[in-house]
């Protein structure tokens, strides 16, 4: 199972107001349903700007329910 929720508790095409812990709740339910043998991954934002989309969710807390994250590294540009 691969989750691509754009974007929990933040604005994308529309604004989601499910709260900071909704993402972890979803992943916890998936892990409970499919068990530890199932592969569960998630695509997540790479927006690390202060107050950006990555700050809107407890990704660290939700990681316990996943096998890995896949950061979406598209549309990033700048003078690195």
Which is more confident, 45 or 75?
A: 45
* Residue-level pLDDT at 34: 98
**Tens digit of pLDDT for each residue in 13-71?**
888 889 899 999 999 999 999 999 999 999 999 888 888 888 999 999 999 999 999 99
Return the domain boundaries, the chain: 2-72
Asked if omega into 54 is within 30° of 0 (cis), the reply is no
* Residue-level pLDDT at 47: 84
* Residue-level pLDDT at 21: 93
6 is catalytic: yes
Catalytic residue among 2, 4, 6, 29: 6
């Amino acid at each position: 199972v691969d989750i691509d929720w754009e974007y929990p508790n933040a604005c994308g095409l529309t604004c989601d107001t499910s709260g900071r812990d909704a993402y972890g709740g979803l992943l916890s339910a998936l892990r409970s349903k499919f068990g530890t043998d199932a592969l569960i991954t998630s695509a997540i934002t790479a927006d690390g700007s202060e107050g950006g989309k990555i700050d809107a969710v407890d990704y660290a807390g939700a990681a316990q329910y996943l096998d890995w994250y896949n950061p979406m590294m598209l549309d990033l540009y700048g003078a690195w």
